[in-house]
Amino acid sequence: MIAPTGNELEALRAQAQQDHRDLHGRIDRLSDDAIDLILRSARSHYAWTDKPVTDATLQEIFEITISGATSMNTLPARIVFVKSAEGKERLAKAMKPMNVPKMMGAPVTAIIAHDLDFWKELPFLFPHEDRRHLFDGNDAYVADTAYRNGTLQGAYLMIGARALGLDVGAMSGFSNAVVDDEFFAGTTLRSNFLCNIGFADETALFQKLPRFSFDQVCSYA
């Protein structure tokens, strides 16, 4: 991809600025109900109904996820939506026993992974300046950038799913090494965490656990 220059660049910048003004002119903030749905009153779920999640819905979740901000627009996350019985059996090999039923009962389990070769896509993703030299041969920086920004994208996926009316349950009780061997052998992809997606069976919920107050964990400088 060739980065725009001159008048074309100025026109694109002006349009982006106007689009942002228009967005805030149209929506000044989310409603309290919307905030409750995606975060404040949302819950992590462990049991699921048999209501299916369509491929079209998963694609819509992806479109929301891919719009979220990442450093240098690196977009390192790679997602495997595990839906089939065969895929679930493969994933179960990596799970701690207590987590297998949670995963098996969900219509979809997303493997949130990241690609350690993400930086090779920067000419497309960040075309106005070639920053591949920052990553080439710098394995620690590559791993740190991929993990941090891939995790961000995983959080965007969870919020996006909730925004569409679905429920989610993130999980870390599994072997990353087994998942990587089973799903990503011979590639530059590495798993981060799992996220069940579906429509919750609320009968498995318990009371919401405590949260810190502002004064306990926030300060000013």
pLDDT (tens digit per residue) in 4-32: 888 998 999 999 999 999 999 999 999 99
* Residue 63 included in any domain: yes
> What amino acid is encoded at 107 in this protein?
P
* Residue 10 included in any domain: no
pTM: 0.95
Give me the percent of the chain exceeding a pLDDT of 90: 96
Work out the burial of residue 135: count CB atoms within 10 Å of its CB; fewer than 13 is exposed, 13-18 middle, 19 or more buried: buried
Cα dihedral 81→87→91→93 (10° resolution): 180
Per-residue pLDDT tens over the stretch 34-83: 999 999 999 999 999 999 999 999 999 999 999 999 999 999 999 999 99
Q: Rg of the Cα trace of the chain?
A: 20
pLDDT surpasses 80 at 97:
yes
Place of tokens 């009371």: 207
Q: What is the CATH number of the domain that holds 136?
A: 3.40.109.10
Q: Mean of the pLDDT values across residues 145-162?
A: 98
The Cα–Cα gap between 43 and 41 comes to 7
Per the structure, the count of domains in the chain is 1
* Residue 8 included in any domain: no
Mean pLDDT of the chain: 96
Q: Which domain covers residue 160, as residue numbers?
A: 44-203
* Residue 26 included in any domain: no
Which string of b and e fits 48-58 if b means at least 16 CB within 10 Å?
beeeebeeebb
Is the CB of residue 108 less than 8 Å from the CB of residue 84? no
* Residue 73 included in any domain: yes
* Residue 88 included in any domain: yes
Q: Mean of the pLDDT values across residues 198-215?
A: 96
* Residue 111 included in any domain: yes
